[in-house]
Amino acid sequence: MNAESNFQQAYRRLRDELLGAIENTPTDLFATHDSTIKNDHDFPLEFAKEIALIYESEQAEKIEKGKVLAKEYTDEKLKSLLETFKKQYHALIEETKFKLDPDDPLFCKVDAFSHIEWGLQEVPHTKMLAFFLDPEREHGLGNLPIGFFLVAASLSESEIEIDLENYHQISVCKVETEKWIRINGKNRRIDIYIEMIKPKCRILIEGKIKGKQGDDQLSNYAEWFKPEENDILIYLTPSEEELEDPWHLLDWKNVASSFCALANYCKLDQTEKEKNSLDGFQLLRLWTSTLLHHVCKIPTVDCSLEDNSLIELVKYNSHIIKVKEILEEYKGEQYADQQIA
């Protein structure tokens, strides 16, 4: 099995195991507050939000009238629907827990940057990305991270044209971070600069999270870079921006999704499991979790779901929908014939 097939296998596993449990979920169930359940497996995802809004509205009204907050619905029909909703949602979570690997970054409760308040800081994230893109660094994952990163870039809407038949054949000359350059008499810093031997090209990456590009920043970088035919300039951001050639837009969500696929690939491929560094894999997992939770805005999920509150249930709903949106965007033109549930 070649590397591209391995990547597709990992990608499909990430997609199918997370979304398979809700593949046949009707979105319009209970649209008219019908309490009849079609069968034991029907699950009203959208109805969760509707129940939450009704509940909040009723409680707000009680507060305005000076009444004590009610812990249960007074409407027996709505209460019955809520109990059915809880049972079905717990069944869904149990099924998802059974299928997902407990080490999957999507369900990692601890991430790399939260406790030092770096979750939305650009420099730590670009430095971590540069660390993993360099095959010679201490992570011990070799070409895997840069291989999956380049596949993610080629799947983006900008359709960066790099043909990677096998990421094991990738050869990197050097990876530099915070590279100082001189432009128009001023010192500027480039986030990530990569020189590749195979494929033969240079890659310049400018990363943003909360900030926006400065005046003439990208045009100045391009003027200094003087890109040749196969060179690539990537603007990495969580927001949509209009870019001029030769810059290509890449979303942080693509990066997070590609490294989720990498985590699953390492679990599938026995050879990779044996030769790769466990420490490097765990660091990648924690950092990917940081990207998912902070930059991509996917809520942290507790697989135990010990709290039966409506808030926790709606949070799970939000998590699954967010991941589904990411996977839809990550599918890309190359996978246009593959349907995501």
pLDDT band at 123 (very low <50, low <70, confident <90, very high): confident
Q: What is the pLDDT of residues 23-50, one digit of tens each?
A: 333 333 223 333 333 333 333 444 445 5
Please indicate whether residue 17 or residue 82 has the higher confidence score (pLDDT): 82
Q: What is the pLDDT of residues 162-184, one digit of tens each?
A: 444 566 778 899 999 888 888 87
**% of the chain beyond a pLDDT of 90:** 6
SS3 301: coil
**Structure confidence at residue 195 (pLDDT):** 93
Adjacent-strand bridge partners of 203:
194, 232
Tokens read off for 84: 């059915």
Helix-, strand-, coil-residue percentages of the chain, each rounded to 5: 50, 15, 35
The pTM for the full model equals: 0.58
Q: What is the pLDDT of residues 226-278, one digit of tens each?
A: 888 788 899 998 877 777 778 888 888 888 878 877 776 665 555 555 555 67
Give Cα separations from 72 to 35, 48, 76, 86, 95 (angstroms). Answer: 18, 16, 9, 14, 28
Q: Is residue 136 over pLDDT 80?
A: yes
* All CATH 3.40.1350 domain ranges in the chain, comma separated: 120-255
Cis check: omega of the bond before 102, within 30 degrees of 0 = no
pLDDT band at 78 (very low <50, low <70, confident <90, very high): low
Q: Under a CB-based contact definition with an 8 Å cutoff, are residues 300 and 293 in contact?
A: yes
Q: Under a CB-based contact definition with an 8 Å cutoff, are residues 260 and 104 in contact?
A: yes
Q: Could you tell me where the beta strands, DSSP code E, fall in the chain?
A: 171-183, 186-198, 201-207, 232-237, 247-251
The candidate with the shortest Cα–Cα distance to 26, out of 12, 13, 39, is 39
How would you classify the pairing of strands 201-207 and 247-251? unpaired
Mean per-residue pLDDT over the chain, rounded: 64
pLDDT band at 299 (very low <50, low <70, confident <90, very high): low
Amino acid type, 159: E
How would you classify the pairing of strands 247-251 and 232-237? parallel
SS3 245: coil
How would you classify the pairing of strands 186-198 and 247-251? unpaired
| CATH code at 120-255 | 3.40.1350
How would you classify the pairing of strands 201-207 and 232-237? parallel
pLDDT band at 6 (very low <50, low <70, confident <90, very high): very low
